[in-house]
Amino acid sequence: MSVADGDGGTAPAGTPRLDDVSVLGPHGFVRVAYADWGPIGAGRTVVCVHGMSRNGRDFDALAQRLAARGVRVVAPDLPGRGMSEWLERSEDYATPLYLSAMSALIARLGVREVDWVGSSLGGHIGMELAALPGTPIRRLVLNDFGARVAAAALHRIAAYLRVERTFGSVAEVEAYLREIHAHFGALTDAQWRHLAEHSAVATGDGRYRQHYDPAIARAFAWPLMLDITLWHVWDRVECPVLILRGEHSDLLLPGCVREMLRRGRAAAEGRVRAVDIPACGHAPSLMADDTIGLISDFLDDDAAVAGARAARPSRRKSG
């Protein structure tokens, strides 16, 4: 079985096309890699964006399911992660670069609109893009991210990001991931191994490190971190939104979800849904069949999208 790539070629089922795009950052161009699943000429395109220290191959299970239904799925590695280029200046690992990079990626894909699935940091980027006038985002899935980010979670993430580790084998990388990402949920041995294989890179001396630039930890360098509030962003989001919250999440708290269901443009039009994912913390892995089903059903609900478009005020100038 194979998936047509839209140019007459094929890719084996379960295997993405790997490509990259050069994007403009604050201090020059940066190469951003991405995995590309399903037909290039598909009627719908889904962009999946990972969390702070993760990479685009976290979405392989979701991408395979959607691609089998004829959807194109593109999962980039954010700058400094996975196969993407590292930055010379650590201060450039910030929202302006991520928004620029993802905008360039969408332009590269040659589509007018995309659905967005974002985990943690990927959810933040998606929410920022969805709040902008003329956004290409049709539907937005926020995986354990919301308009208030709890400081306790930032401290926990900083604790493991700040320590540079090397490992004697991919198996050691896997054991470490099982420890620090236990809150991803009940993954199979094969799924943990998959994460490890795409998280480990050989250092050249027989050892391995994780597949991200340690300099991204400098964003967590300040000693006192408070909750981050993004209500000014959330309030401008108009498209349908699905909020997935890990039942035990320390980053997206229940009170924030309740407020997101109550306020903002999307909530005012009844376009926001929230679902707790049981036996998970921050953030659900999106590898479980039932969670993939939730996302797939939400992305297929075209009636709600049509209603969202009809309710948007025209931005055209008269005359």
pLDDT in tens, the chain (319 residues): 223 333 333 445 578 999 999 999 999 999 999 999 999 999 999 999 999 999 999 999 999 999 999 999 999 999 999 999 999 999 999 999 999 999 999 999 999 999 999 999 999 999 999 999 999 999 999 999 999 999 999 999 998 998 889 999 999 999 999 999 999 999 999 999 999 999 999 998 999 999 999 999 887 766 667 899 999 999 999 999 999 999 999 999 999 999 999 999 999 999 999 999 999 999 999 999 999 999 999 999 875 444 444 444 433 333 3
Q: What is the rounded distance in angstroms from the CA atom of residue 41 to the CA atom of residue 39?
A: 5
Residue by residue, what is the 3-state secondary structure of 72-126? EEEEECCCCECCCCCCCCHHHCCHHHHHHHHHHHHHHHCCCCEEEEEECHHHHHH
pLDDT of residue 5: 36
What are the residue boundaries of the structural domains of the chain, listed by start?
18-151+229-311
Of the candidates 123, 136, 108, 112, the residue with the CA atom closest to the CA atom of residue 48: 123
pLDDT of residue 314: 39
- DSSP codes of every residue in 167-222: BSSHHHHHHHHHHHTGGG----HHHHHHHHHTTEEE-SSS-EEESB-GGGGGGG-S
- DSSP codes of every residue in 12-69: ETT--EEEEEEEEETTEEEEEEEEEES-TT-S-EEEEE--TT--GGGGHHHHHHHHTT
Q: What is residue 250's three-state secondary structure? A: coil
What's the token pair of residue 36? 């590309």
CATH number listed for the domain at residues 18-151+229-311: 3.40.50.1820
pLDDT of residue 132: 98
Strand-strand pairing, 137-143 and 241-246: parallel
pLDDT of residue 8: 33
pLDDT of residue 312: 47
